Amino acid sequence: MDHLVSTSLLAADFGNLDRDVIIVNDSVADWLHLDVMDGVFVPNISFGFPVIRSVRKVAQKPLDVHLMIVDPDRYIARFREAGADILTVQYEACIHLQRTVTEIRSHNMKAGVAINPHTPVMLLKNILPYIDMVLIMTVNPGFGGQTFIMESYSKITELRKMIDERGLDILIQVDGGVGPENAKRLVDSGVNVLVAGNSVFSAINPVEVIQKLKNPL
């Protein structure tokens, strides 16, 4: 399968959000990535349902929503109503993870589980049959523009082996410090979905950067 590009709106210009969503619409990006932060699970606050609903009205791509919040179970149905197509929760934030991802799928969304840089991929062994995607955070979550953590490559390789040995159909997504300079190595390591925000929206030509992420050299 060709890899996907999910463009993170956390790095977009919120004063011109419609414009930046349209830029992604007109690019070869596959998804729009939205990071929801509550200021509790991570030391930052981003946006919630009103922004997602506004993006949904303009977006022509699936909405890939990553919840960096405590107690995500309370809001699953509301995120679907707001327009989420893929909903990813943090492993570290879920007490009853299998129940959470089953609930996500029951609302006709793809279910993802994210792990922080310090969390071993082996902890996902028993949840893999119940999910559609694993998001490996390649920076500590909370802020955009951070430097990629190099140890992430070994986690990607380990997870790819776990998935393939069991014959599971699960996407591996990475988020944090992703750009044209490391896109090829990430894909070669087994990544299916590249999340990129700062490298796209800080560029003079965001569409060109997305093209480079989609076809890395």
> Could you give the residue numbers annotated as active site?
35, 175
Cα–Cα distance measured from residue 105 to residue 76, given in angstroms and rounded to the nearest whole number: 10
Cα–Cα distance measured from residue 140 to residue 14, given in angstroms and rounded to the nearest whole number: 23
Distances (CA, A) of 44 to 19, 68, 196: 24, 10, 19
- Identify the bridge partners of residue 91 per DSSP, sorted by sequence position: none
Residue found by looking up tokens 């894909």 in the block: 187
Query: Please, what's the b/e burial string for 109-141 (b: 16 or more CB within 10 A of its CB; e: otherwise)?
Result: bbbbbbbbeebebeebeebbebbbbbbbbbbeb
Residue 168: CB atoms within 10 Å: 12
Among candidate residues 96, 97, 86, the one with its CA nearest the CA of residue 59: 86
For residue 82, the one-letter residue type is A
Distances (CA, A) of 179 to 36, 52, 100: 21, 25, 31
Among candidate residues 34, 3, 5, 9, the one with its CA nearest the CA of residue 22: 9
